[in-house]
Amino acid sequence: MSTYDVVVIGSGPGGYVCAIKCAQLGLKTAIVEKRATLGGTCLNIGCIPSKALLQASELFVEAEHTLPKMGVKVAKPKLDLKAMLAHKDATVKSNVDGVAFLMKKNKIDWLTGTGKILGEGKLSVTGEDGKAQEYEAKTIVIATGSDVAGIPGVDVEFDEKVIVSSTGALELSKVPGHMIVVGGGVIGLELGSVWKRLGAEVTVVEYLGTILGGMDGEVSKQFQRMLEKQGIKFNLGAKVTGVKKNSKGAEVTFEPVKGGDAETVSADVVLVATGRKPYTDGLGLEKAGVVLDDRGRVDVNEHWQTSITGIYAIGDVVAGPMLAHKAEDEGMAVAEIIAGEHGHVNYDVIPSVVYTEPEVASVGKTEEELKKAGIEYNSGKFPFAANGRARAMLATDGFVKVLADKTTDRVLGVHIVGKGAGEMIHEAAVLMEFGGSSEDLGRTCHAHPTMSEAVREAALATAFGKPLHM
């Protein structure tokens, strides 16, 4: 029986990063993965392939609508969907091959199959042939991620062709005439944007009265208007009661959350993007004595230790935002703890990004959260319409908003809607990690002309009551 210092179950961003860090700290490490490739949902059927399609579809729109405004005359672009999907697949392969290389480089054993915890320090891995191999490990890390959540109370039969999850939405063989997206969160809006750009009519049906759930309210409202200008339609405050196939494709039945008549709408494709749930199937957690919380997540303490000594859990399978980079941070922290060091994650500074066009990026508290907590704050905003680089790029949609403590000026939250927002958010994250103030950010020299100057201007507006260039 092979013995390891650490065995990580799951090779997504949390799992493989944890394994690499453990190996770097001198621990004999193995990683368990049932897929034929490493990288988990994110690299195989999530973050990476969706970004490939988002980038490609954005360029498709730019070629037709933006380039002529800049004096670049081109023929009307033609969609080669097969080639676009091939680009997506090539992107995935490059990334998963890269992770496999990192495993070899760091001398991490890949145990192919489905992992099951047998108890403290013991696990088995069952291959496709049904044969189970047992292993011993001083420490086991659960990093099994999440799965499609479906719609609570509604029986949805996914065929991944007509009624699809995010997985099927990445593989459509043709552009649907009409796509209904159930769920106005990040996944639904990103994938809905892809198919809208490529020619589909897109309708979003969302239970809440706003899109992007926990995002800052002002950001959500402004962003929805931008998407509506792009042609995406919204039915908010709508409870879905049925999703099923029909002769034309599929149909979605929904009714107002506040009460009223039900409505049924047909579409060629229905994308159900109502979130994700922790994936713990087949892990043997109950029998092993690993406690779950009331939402099916693995219950852990502040050091990601489960109810069983020597078993830890990280990523989507535990509480907190289901974000790849959050899982990565937890993976590094747990590795350090296992090695006797002091791992830590600052959950107040975890950025989130919606990779639409324009992008939406946020870090820290929203105005709604600060009001609910009774924290007095100052707010400063600056629109990209007043930014020189944005004008030159024809990217004037959106704004930056900075929220800072009214007494100390410490920055508590930053929210950006605009082109490249996902890149700009990180200077705010670094500032907040070091407890910086809006004045600190406002007095930091920014290169001109850049989109990031809007971040500085918003900080000046927060610290001094007004920006310079408005």
Task: Report the CATH number that the domain containing residue 140 is assigned in CATH.
Answer: 3.50.50.60
- Output phi, psi for 129, to 5 deg: -80, 0
Count CB-CB contacts under 10 A for residue 234: 18
Are 187 and 97 in the same domain? no
Residue 440 token pair: 């600190």
Q: Report the distance separating Cα 244 and Cα 267, nearest Å.
A: 11
What's the pLDDT score for residue 248? 85
Q: Which residues pair with 378 in a beta bridge?
A: 404
Q: CA distances (Å), 182 to each of 26, 91, 265, 360, 447, in order? A: 46, 27, 12, 20, 42
Q: Which H or E element spans position 462?
A: helix 453-464
Where a domain ends, among 244, 272, 300? 272
The whole domain housing 35 covers: 2-148+277-338
What's the pLDDT score for residue 179? 98
Where a domain ends, among 247, 272, 297? 272
Residue 343 within a domain: no
Residue 153 within a domain: no
Residue 448 token pair: 């001109």
Are 86 and 137 in the same domain? yes
**Locate tokens 């690499």: which residue?**
20
Residues of the chain with pLDDT under 70: none
Q: Which residues pair with 468 in a beta bridge?
A: none
Residue 155 within a domain: no
The 8-class DSSP code of residue 317 comes to: G
What's the pLDDT score for residue 429? 98
Residue 347 within a domain: no
What's the pLDDT score for residue 54? 98
Residue 30 within a domain: yes
Residue 470 within a domain: no
The answer to whether 364 and 438 are in contact (CB under 8 A) is no
Are 142 and 289 in the same domain? yes
Residue 434 within a domain: yes
Are 26 and 142 in the same domain? yes
Helices (H), 236-387: 285-288, 324-338, 367-372
Residue 345 within a domain: no
Active site residues: 448
Which residues, 6 or more positions from 83, have their beta carbon under 8 angstroms from its beta carbon? none
Are 252 and 286 in the same domain? no
Are 198 and 231 in the same domain? yes
